[in-house]
Amino acid sequence: MPNAFISGTGFYVPPRRVTNDDLRTVYGIDTTHEWIVKRTGIEERRFADEGVGTSDLGLLAAQAAIEKAGIAKTDLDMIIFATLSSEHCFPGSGVYLQEKLGLCDGPNAKFVPALDVRNQCSGFLYALGTATSMVKSGACKHVLVVGAEVHSAALDLTARGRGVASLFGDGAGAVVVSATEEDRGVRAWKLGADGRFADTLSQRIWDIRKRPFIPQNAEGVGQISPEFMWAYMDGKLVFKHAVERMVMVLMETCMMHGVTGEAIDMFFFHQANMRINQFIQQTLGIPEEKIVHNIHRYGNTTAATIPILLAEAEETGRLRRGMKIALCSFGSGFTWGAAIIDW
Ligand code: UT7
């Protein structure tokens, strides 16, 4: 059975910086830089311009990852696209990315499968676990895994929405998961979910149980009240479960691999709130130099946080061949996951 390793990483964030002060001065949100930094660690985020979709961001991250992997895009056997902000209700962003990569072009087009993963902040880890299994089973040699989000179009950027709108940003990260006979790669991964909390962090724009699924006015035009239009989050409950689940799944994944936390050279945590990550760090006694953050620059980019962190750490030379690293995430669903990789 081959090992599955990450042969290439890439990321892309849109150039437009939106600072905490911009939320107040440009959008009129009743907030302060101090509140957001103190509660979350976020200083600024990126917003894509109108007309830019999730697969557009994913494309640029994917191209960088494919180049780093040293393969041709036609070598890909599968695309897995993790996002909660796909361009449309259906189809998912994976097929848009496949077409933009040019994988439908020419007489020899392979028409690689494109799978969409809808596991929000844990989406990248769910996608990575799936890609690893596809590679280890021998079904695929190279799987492109993308985590990308355009949140800025779906944030209530008004005084009403401050509790959620201050937290999220746009961006994309990608990795290529490849087969190797070398003794390296994804060593262990574990995923979990607790559907009792499905509504605790959710965006229920439509309700398929209703007829029609979106209420209409007399002219037949769909009407969505703000309550359903925008994401809902019980922040304190999410926070409490996040710290518990992330600590637990990290420890379980270490046990699966037969190592303790000291054996891990670097930790890549989902970037939802600096305080969540500091709590995990303190609970597990992880030294500061083993942790990478970028929440201050990008906010929470949901499925993209971990692949962006990986790509940046590799680009700056912090993440190097031979390191043992741990990834960990928690989010809407609730869903969570962790993975240990020998880089
Ligand atoms: O990636 C998916 C997973 N998501 C998470 O992990 C998020 C987890 N939760 C959190 O990170 C935190 O709960 C938040 C950062 C979202 C909120 O922090 P908090 O310490 O739990 O604050 P809170 O929601 O209890 O709000 C405290 C106060 C409220 O005012 P009152 O009711 O005490 O008067 C809020 O209205 O802070 C107010 N508030 C704000 N004030 C200024 C909420 N958002 C803002 C804001 N600016 N942006």
Question: Which residues, at least 6 apart from 35, have a Cβ–Cβ distance to it below 8 Å?
Answer: none
pLDDT value for 121: 98
Whether residue 300 has its Cβ less than 6 Å from ligand 1: yes
Query: What's the mean pLDDT when you consider all of the chain?
Result: 97
* Centroid of ligand 1 to alpha carbon of 133 (angstroms): 38
Whether residue 169 has its Cβ less than 6 Å from ligand 1: no
User: For residue range 184-203, what is the model confidence (pLDDT) as tens digits?
Assistant: 999 999 999 999 999 999 99
Q: State the catalytic residue, choosing from 3, 270, 273, 277.
A: 270
Using pLDDT thresholds of 50, 70 and 90, give the confidence band for residue 268. Answer: very high
User: For residue range 321-335, what is the model confidence (pLDDT) as tens digits?
Assistant: 999 999 999 999 999
Hey, whose CA ends up nearest to atom 25 of ligand 1? 236
Q: State the catalytic residue, choosing from 3, 121, 140, 142.
A: 121
Whether residue 272 has its Cβ less than 6 Å from ligand 1: yes
User: For residue range 107-150, what is the model confidence (pLDDT) as tens digits?
Assistant: 989 999 999 999 999 999 999 999 999 999 999 999 999 999 99
Whether residue 273 has its Cβ less than 6 Å from ligand 1: yes
Q: Mean per-residue pLDDT for 225-246?
A: 96
Hey, whose CA ends up nearest to atom 12 of ligand 1? 235
pLDDT value for 70: 98
* Centroid of ligand 1 to alpha carbon of 242 (angstroms): 15
Ligand 1 atom nearest the C-alpha of 238 is 8
* Centroid of ligand 1 to alpha carbon of 219 (angstroms): 39
pTM for the full model? 0.98
Whether residue 211 has its Cβ less than 6 Å from ligand 1: no
Q: Is the separation of the CB atoms in 255 and 341 below 8 Å?
A: no
Active site residue 121: yes
Give the three-state DSSP class for 217.
coil
Complete DSSP assignment for 235-249: HHHHHHHHHHHHHHH
Show the tokens assigned to 19: 């600072």
Hey, whose CA ends up nearest to atom 40 of ligand 1? 163
User: For residue range 1-48, what is the model confidence (pLDDT) as tens digits?
Assistant: 999 999 999 999 999 999 999 999 999 999 999 999 999 999 999 999
Question: Side by side, which strands form the sheet with 3-12?
Answer: 3-12, 171-180, 142-149, 78-82, 114-117
pLDDT value for 286: 98
CA 213 to each of CA 100, 144, 166, 204, 208: distance values in angstroms, whole numbers, following the listed order? 31, 34, 29, 11, 5
Q: Is the separation of the CB atoms in 298 and 171 below 8 Å?
A: yes
Q: Mean per-residue pLDDT for 210-217?
A: 96
Ligand 1 atom nearest the C-alpha of 166 is 48
Q: For 176, phi and psi rounded to 5 degrees?
A: -105, 125
Show the tokens assigned to 156: 């209530």
Complete DSSP assignment for 134-169: HHHTTS-SEEEEEEEE--GGGS--SGGGHHHHTTB-
Strand partners, 45: 18
Q: Taking each helix axis as running N to C, give the angle between helix 274-284 and helix 235-257, from 0 to 180 degrees, rounded to the nearest 10.
A: 40
Give the three-state DSSP class for 311.
helix
* Centroid of ligand 1 to alpha carbon of 239 (angstroms): 10
pLDDT value for 47: 98
pLDDT value for 1: 94
Nearest to 301 by CA among 195, 133, 147, 189: 147
User: For residue range 68-112, what is the model confidence (pLDDT) as tens digits?
Assistant: 999 999 999 999 999 999 999 999 999 999 999 999 999 989 999
Indicate whether 159 pLDDT > 90.
no
Give the three-state DSSP class for 27.
coil
> Which H or E run includes 188?
strand 185-193
* Centroid of ligand 1 to alpha carbon of 235 (angstroms): 6
**Angle in degrees, CA 171, 176, 181, rounded to 5:** 155
Question: Which residues, at least 6 apart from 232, have a Cβ–Cβ distance to it below 8 Å?
Answer: 164, 199, 201, 202, 203, 204
Residue given tokens 């897995």 in the structure block: 80
Q: Mean per-residue pLDDT for 258-266?
A: 97
Residue 102: CB atoms within 10 A of its CB come to: 11
pLDDT value for 340: 98
Active site residue 270: yes
Active site residue 277: no
* Centroid of ligand 1 to alpha carbon of 273 (angstroms): 10
Whether residue 239 has its Cβ less than 6 Å from ligand 1: yes
